[in-house]
Amino acid sequence: MLKVASRTLHGLLLLVGVSIFAFALLSAAPGNFFDELKLNPQVSPATVASLEIQYGMDRPLPVRYLRWLASVAHGEFGYSMSYHCAVGSLIWVRARNTLLLTGLATLLAWAVALPWGMLEALHRGGWADRTGGAVTAGLLAIPDVLVGLIFLLFAARTGWFPTGGMASVDPSHAAFAERLRDVAVHLFLPVVALALGAVPVLVRHVRSAMIVVLNSPFIEAARSQGIRKRRLVCRHALPAAMNSLISLLGFSIGALLSMSLLMEVVLSWPGLGPLVLEAILARDVHVVIAAVLLSSIFLVGGNLLADVLLYWADPRIRTVQP
């Protein structure tokens, strides 16, 4: 558990560093939220200057950062000048939607990639391996934006799926089963599109990890004893490859989180992606910083989850060295 505690501490320090860097970078960027008001001849420069003083934009950077840090401690994450409310009230709902999308996409991607990679490793050099390699190469060549646009066009042309949003029924007048079905229909295309971007990379890593294990001496010894191929793979090879695959899980969560922000914008899923895009265009700094910090929290959490799973799966990690 000392390793997990150490990784947790490192993650917290990383989040502090990310918050400082993001705050300093966005504060140093030219322009601010009131630039459009300055171009309006009906708004006097004195009015703009008073608004900047009211929102503390005239204060030094360390003072603004400490004030923002105090608001984070209260769960507010600063103040949104576009929405005229605390950022926390905006960001938590969007973060929940992003986590729902990313979590389901991660499960789907691994559910497809794990048997696919194992099949290619078992039939290395055969038609299944060559066909799988061609398919993964084709998927890697397609940009994620293009995949999202194709899915959006498919939804618009067929009408089988909604072209955006999270729900189309009134929650106050719908039964739980109907609301669940409605959310599932809205989730289908974003989840599949997001998983398609991650599957090729996962398949190639699973294939490589399984080939290394299948070529190891203990697998050769087990194969010489006449153990059936299915039992050999599931009971011996897969547990031996689990360490590298669990480490890959943490990486895949972070990759899917970063990819989901773009896919949410393309497919109009109400997650962090559209909110961040609107905040960047409006120069709503606190919303952008909160979204960056939450994305970093998700990434650190994914890697910490991988460390906990490794600690649970491998007894050698739990052994304390003298």
Residue for token digits 């923002």? 68
pLDDT at 33 over 80: no
Amino acid at 188: F
pLDDT at 321 over 60: no
Phi first, then psi: what are they for 79, rounded to 5°?
A: -125, 135
pLDDT at 83 over 60: yes
Residue for token digits 């390699």? 133
Most confident of the following: 50-54, 112-116, 206-210, 244-248: 112-116
pLDDT for 258 equals 76
In whole angstroms, what is the distance from residue 166 CA to residue 182 CA?
8
In whole angstroms, what is the distance from residue 147 CA to residue 238 CA?
32
CB atoms within 10 A of CB 248: 19
Phi first, then psi: what are they for 163, rounded to 5°?
A: -90, 5
Higher-confidence residue: 291 or 221?
A: 291
In whole angstroms, what is the distance from residue 67 CA to residue 19 CA?
13
* 169, two tokens: 């029924």
| In contact, 239 and 310? CB cutoff 8 Å | no
Fold topology of 94-277+297-318? MetI-like fold (1.10.3720)
pLDDT for 3 equals 61
Q: Where are the domains of the chain?
A: 2-87, 94-277+297-318
In 41-113 the beta strands, taken as DSSP E runs, fall at 79-80, 85-86
pLDDT for 174 equals 67
Amino acid at 92: W
pLDDT in tens, 122-171: 777 788 778 888 888 888 888 888 888 888 888 888 888 888 777 776 66
Provide the H-helix boundaries in 238-271. 238-266
In whole angstroms, what is the distance from residue 293 CA to residue 289 CA?
6
| In contact, 266 and 148? CB cutoff 8 Å | yes
pLDDT band of residue 108 (cuts 50, 70, 90) is: very high
SS3 164: coil
List C-alpha distances in Å: 105 to 84, 111, 295.
33, 10, 16
pLDDT at 245 over 70: yes
Q: What is the pTM of this model?
A: 0.79
In whole angstroms, what is the distance from residue 209 CA to residue 192 CA?
25
Terminal CA-CA length for the chain: 15
